[in-house]
Amino acid sequence: EIGTTFHSIILEPAARNTAPAIAAAALIIAEETPNAVMLVLPSDHIIKNVAAFREAIKAADRVAREGYLVTFGITPFRAETGYGYIRSGAPLVGHEGCRVVREFCEKPEPQLAERYLASGKYFWNSGIFLFRTDRIIDELGKHHPKLLDTCREAVTSGKRNKDFSHLADQAFAACDAISIDYAVMEKSRQAAVIPVDMGWSDMGAWSSVWEAAGPDAD
């Protein structure tokens, strides 16, 4: 539907969080297109305003092509304690609506969440990212070289079978289980955030499902 060539579904032999998964995908993509722009999306989120998301992706694409690691910050409308937050900094010169990331913040206590909401400088961390494959590989090599080397081994020793890329079991299982936030985004000096209001929820609780779907007659 989007006019691109299907590559493969990458199969992980073990759960190792988002950093190894992204590293493996970036390495596989980079084999064909070293500076490809890579959009990372959790599969279990809901986005109601798709048009707003598409506009945010267009804006993020321009920023990512300049070498920044872009994340999407959700404009908060309540003092939510169930999400991590991103503290935004100065506007990114030449990119309207995009800001430097000052800090990634853990899920806050209620009083702190209220302060975050009131400040207007904090956004919910969506876990959605856009960056060039060469840039995320460089940053992984800088901050977690062992993880990158292990993922590279898992890719090169893996097997391709029709629509699937099977990562090598032993090599991938040896990867540290760590999120991309901890591994790279919190350490990088090239992290940027684009605030967006797109009707987002991570569907992390039954209350989120109820909110998204609405009650029935009962």
Label residue 186 exposed, middle or buried (CB < 10 Å: 0-12, 13-18, 19+). middle
Distance from C-alpha of 59 to C-alpha of 81, rounded to nearest angstrom:
28
SS3 172: helix
Distance from C-alpha of 144 to C-alpha of 156, rounded to nearest angstrom:
19
Cα 121 from chain centre: 20
Contact indicator for 90, 211 with CB cutoff of 8 Å: no
Q: At which residue do the structure tokens 């990119």 appear?
A: 95
Residues 75-88 pLDDT 10s: 999 999 999 999 99
Residues 82-120 pLDDT 10s: 999 999 999 999 998 999 999 999 999 999 999 999 999
